[in-house]
Amino acid sequence: MKLGFGLMRLPMLDPENIDIEQVKKMADSFIAAGGTYFDTAYPYHQGKSEIAFREAVVKRYPRESYTVTDKLPMFSIKKAEEMQPIFDEQLRRCGVEYFDYYWLHALGNDTYNLSEQIGAFEFIAQKKAEGKVKHIGFSFHDSAEVLDKILTNHKEIEFVQLQINYLDLDDPNVQARKCYETAVRHGKPVIVMEPVKGGALANVPEKAEDLMKAREPEMSPASWAIRYAASYDNVMMVLSGMSNMEQMNDNLSFMKEFKPLSNDESEMVLECADIIRSSISIKCTACRYCTDGCPKKIPIPDLFKLFNDLKRYGRSQEKKAAEDHAALTKESGKASDCIKCGKCEEHCPQHLPIREYLANIASVMEK
């Protein structure tokens, strides 16, 4: 089955504790349907995801009935000496003797340079030679150019994990299509993360949902997003971070006997992407040319993105938008801090009326 169980958004009993009994039931359904691939990482649920995997799967199933991916957190490691203790801790938390897949987590230009400096590629290759890891790779968040550089320099890498969803195919920051093509050119199978864009594509504008329902009345918007990503030939696995039994059952209903989308269906999904894009209120490309000169250190494109998501997905995103807004403005300027100096607008290649937008955002999000 091409569906992987992402263990980053597990069901919770309360903010601290994972609902292990529910995770067990979800894992049972997943394995019964032919699923084998579990994906965890050092920081997921502050380390409790790895432990939940041990309790729900490792202690209850023979080792050959599942595979597990774990990852070396390159965004928090600073020195070479930190790698081995983290790796040992991960094996201990998961309760396994070896990992089937082991990635350098979240490589981009900076974390790639760090990985080179501290020998992280050599470290994971060594773990493979020791039999502690069966396959090595990395998950990736940067441009196709950086991806090409890494894959050119590291032919030993076997897999790449990429962010691919139908809305971000040609997004200038995500560059999903170009990254996928780069992986294909280097002959590396792709594992897809965030096919539903962190849950955002589970709620699409009515017009897009109508198009989807007209084709398949029973299929959820999330199913179209997952099936779209899984339809790429070189995609080995699509991860879904499932949070409850309902999501698990929905995913299994179409991934158990997965059929790639037809050309017609793929075109319909891309039409939905156009509808979603046209519902975006602020046409900011996130180039960030505006932020350097801002005397109030306002994270302008990040606020625009929050606002767009809120407009696009409506009430379902209100709570998340409020939380994200609080986190974003904790250490940087808020929209209402703008003194209307206009420096940002001088640099905006899209000629956006940034001051006007910020005033609107302040009135909506700082209520």
**Binding footprint of ligand SF4 on the chain (CB under 6 A):** 284-290, 293-296, 298, 300-301, 338-344, 347-348, 350, 352, 354-355, 358
134 versus 288: smaller Cβ distance to ligand SF4: 288
Least separation, in Å, of the C-beta of 341 and ligand SF4?
A: 4
Phi (first) and psi of residue 277, to 5 degrees: -65, -40
Minimum CB distance to ligand SF4 smaller for 131 or for 349: 349
Q: What is the C-alpha to C-alpha distance for residues 272 and 166, in angstroms, rounded to an integer? A: 9
State the minimum distance, in angstroms, from the CB of residue 352 to ligand SF4: 5
Q: Which of 237, 232, 209, 233 is nearest to 221 (CA)?
A: 209
| Shortest distance (Å) from residue 304 CB to ligand SF4 | 6
Q: Are 120 and 87 in contact (CB under 8 A)?
A: no
Q: Which residues contact 134 (CB under 8 A, 6 or more apart)?
A: 98, 99, 100, 101, 128
The distance of closest approach from Cβ of residue 69 to ligand SF4 in the complex, given in angstroms and rounded to an integer, is 34
Nearer to ligand SF4, 24 or 355 (CB): 355
Nearest residue (CB) to ligand SF4, 135 versus 288: 288
Cross-strand pairs, 104: 72, 138
Smallest separation, CB 170 to ligand SF4 (Å): 16
**What is the smallest separation between the CB atom of 161 and ligand SF4, expressed in angstroms?**
27
Check: CB of residue 203 under 8 Å from CB of residue 313.
yes
Closest to ligand SF4 by CB, 202 or 310: 310
Cα(70)–Cα(104) distance, rounded to whole angstroms? 9
Instruction: Report which DSSP code applies to 63.
Output: G
Name the residue nearer to ligand SF4 (CB basis): 12 or 280.
280
Residue 193 is inside which H or E element, if any? Answer: strand 190-193
Q: Closer to ligand SF4 by CB, 60 or 297: give it.
A: 297
Distance CA 158, CA 69 (A): 13
Q: Which is nearer to ligand SF4, 135 or 296 (CB)?
A: 296
In angstroms, what is the minimal distance from the CB of 82 to ligand SF4?
34
CB 20 within 8 A of CB 62: no
Q: Can you read off the two tokens belonging to residue 2?
A: 């091409």
Minimum distance, C-beta of residue 193 to ligand SF4, in the bound complex (Å): 24
What contacts 44, CB < 8 A, 6 or more positions away? Answer: 7, 8, 50
Burial class (CB in 10 A: 0-12, 13-18, 19+), 29: middle
* Integer angstrom CA distances of residue 272 from 210, 221, 267: 10, 10, 9
